[in-house]
Structure formats: structure tokens, C-alpha cells
């Protein structure tokens, strides 16, 4: 019973945080520029995950790998949003720079064979994104 006020305060704080996050998500969604349909995006994710699974990383290494990938993917996905103000050429340049940094970071945690598999896997994504960005530029 002593903890009831604390629990109520925590629930209230969590609820307020969720409302702010929802507003932030709404703003980001409004500025989002999508180069893939939801189905295409799902297929890309599944193909990438299949490549990651083929690497047969230990649980610990997989967790570290996923954290690095997610860190860069979240930044990359915002590059062409309207509120970022990047030209198509800037998006391509920043995308390439992010991939280079991500590759360097994952290289530190993977052995040579795993790193080669990572590069083969990420190359498919890079090729797909660059193809889409080039197609957008043509339109």
C-alpha cells in the first residue's frame, strides 16, 4: 500500500511519455518519404535477416551486430525525409557514408568469414536503395 502513490506516479509519467512519443511519431510520419511499399520493405527485411541468420552468429555477437545495424538504419531511413532538407545527391552521399561507417563498426566484432557474408548481404540492400534513389531522381 505504501508503494501505491509511487506506482500511480510512474504510470502517469509513462503515459505522458507515450503521448509525447506519439506526437513525435506523427510529425516524423508526416515528413516521411518512402521509397518502398510496405511489402517491398518487408521483403528486404526478410532477405537481410536470412543473410544474417546464415552468418550463424553467437547470441552475444548477434545482439551487438543488430544494435550496430539498427543504429545506422534508423539514421539512414531519415535521410530523405522532408524535414531533413537533403537533396537527392546529399541523400546518396550520406547514405554511402553511413554504410561505410556501419561496415567499419561491424568489422570490429565479426571474424573475416562473417564480415564477408555481411558485405555480401549489405551489398544487396545498398544496390536496391541506390536503384530506387536513382529512379526517384529520374522522375
Average pLDDT, the chain: 79
DSSP label of 121: H
Domain range for 58 is: 34-138
Query: What pLDDT score does 59 carry?
Result: 95
Of 108 and 133, which is predicted with more confidence? 108
Same domain, 4 and 53: no
Residues 6+ apart with CB under 8 A from 99: 72, 76, 122, 126
Q: What is the largest CA-CA distance in the chain?
A: 66
Domain count along the chain = 2
Residues 6+ apart with CB under 8 A from 27: 83
Same domain, 11 and 77: no
Query: What pLDDT score does 82 carry?
Result: 73
Same domain, 44 and 83: yes
Of 122 and 136, which is predicted with more confidence? 122
Report which secondary-structure segment, H or E, holds 93.
Answer: helix 88-107
What is the reported pTM?
Answer: 0.73
Amino acid at each position: 500500500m505504501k508503494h501505491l502513490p509511487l506506482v500511480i506516479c510512474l504510470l502517469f509519467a509513462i503515459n505522458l511519455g507515450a503521448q509525447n512519443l506519439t506526437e513525435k511519431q506523427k510529425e516524423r510520419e508526416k515528413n516521411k518519404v518512402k521509397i518502398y511499399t510496405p511489402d517491398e520493405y518487408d521483403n528486404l527485411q526478410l532477405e537481410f535477416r536470412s543473410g544474417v541468420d546464415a552468418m550463424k552468429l553467437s547470441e552475444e555477437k548477434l545482439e551487438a551486430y543488430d544494435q550496430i545495424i539498427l543504429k545506422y538504419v534508423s539514421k539512414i531511413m531519415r535521410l530523405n525525409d522532408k524535414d531533413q532538407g537533403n537533396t537527392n545527391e546529399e541523400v546518396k552521399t550520406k547514405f554511402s557514408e553511413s554504410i561505410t561507417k556501419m561496415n567499419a563498426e561491424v568489422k570490429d566484432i565479426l571474424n573475416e568469414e562473417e564480415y564477408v557474408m555481411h558485405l555480401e548481404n549489405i551489398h544487396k540492400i545498398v544496390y536496391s536503395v541506390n536503384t530506387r534513389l536513382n529512379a526517384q531522381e529520374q522522375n
